[in-house]
Amino acid sequence: MILVGVDGSPASRKALRWALEQAKRTGEPVEATMAWLREPEYVPAAAMGVHPHADRPDHRHPARELHDIVAQERAAVPDAPEVAEVTIVGDAATALAAASRQADMLVIGSRGHGRLAEVFLGSVAADCLRHARCPVVVLPA
């Protein structure tokens, strides 16, 4: 299975497209994983049955966000394979390293800049290279 870390950035979209092309050649399944940290929030009192954030445009729905990204990138790759979509609450590097135990390959994009590994690769990419249990492909933005 080809595991792809997706966070919505141009680099992660590039990683997903690369994984889709690779899967077309190898026949391996693709799993797109989005990890996100749930930040504590104040929830005001509301009437029963009314979600207090239902009308907030900035309220994040990671599963919907991931689904939209996967649909857009699959549309850009002719004959793209199906993609399993997984959202995880937690730190991206930790979640991807744990998921890599069941993967044949981990594909991630890098948004880093500079000389040091964490700066050049980005902290998530650097952590995945250190802790993943499968080969890692890092694609620059």
pLDDT digit string (tens) for 83-141?
A: 999 999 888 888 999 999 999 999 998 875 555 444 445 677 777 788 788 999 998 77
pLDDT digits (tens, 9 = 90+) for 13-24: 999 999 999 999
Burial group, residue 29, by CB count within 10 angstroms (0-12, 13-18, 19+): middle
Place of tokens 């730190």: 91
Do 76 and 124 fall within a single domain?
no
Domain extent, residue 78, equals 19-37+60-90
Q: Are residues 33 and 67 in the same domain?
A: yes
- 139 and 112, same structural domain? yes
Question: For residue 129, is it within any domain?
Answer: yes
pLDDT in tens, 52-81: 555 555 556 889 999 999 999 999 999 999
pLDDT of residue 39: 61
Decide which of 50, 70, 90 is a domain's last residue. 90
What is residue 51's predicted lDDT score, i.e. its pLDDT?
A: 53
Greater confidence (50 vs 130) lies with 130
Q: What is the mean pLDDT of residues 38-59?
A: 55
**Residue 53 to residue 75: CA distance in whole angstroms:** 31
Instruction: Please indicate, yes or no, whether residues 107 and 66 belong to a single structural domain of this protein.
Output: no
pLDDT in the model for residue 116: 45
Phi-psi region of 6 (alpha: psi -120 to 50; beta: other; left: phi over 0): beta
Tally of domains within the chain: 2
**Residue among 18, 21, 24, 36 at smallest CA distance from 96:** 36
Q: How confident is the model at residue 45 (pLDDT cuts 50, 70, 90)?
A: low
Is 125 part of a structural domain of the chain? yes
**Edge-to-edge strand order for the sheet containing 136-140?**
83-89, 30-36, 2-5, 105-110, 136-140
26 and 81 in a single domain? The answer is yes
- Give domain status of residue 130, yes or no: yes
Using alpha carbons, list the distances in angstroms from residue 25 to 20, 29, 46, 69, 134: 9, 11, 52, 22, 19
User: Residue 123 has which token pair?
Assistant: 């902290």
Confidence of residue 47 (pLDDT cuts 50, 70, 90): low
Structure-model confidence comparison of residues 115 and 2, the more confident one: 2
8 A C-beta contact, residue 33 and residue 5: yes
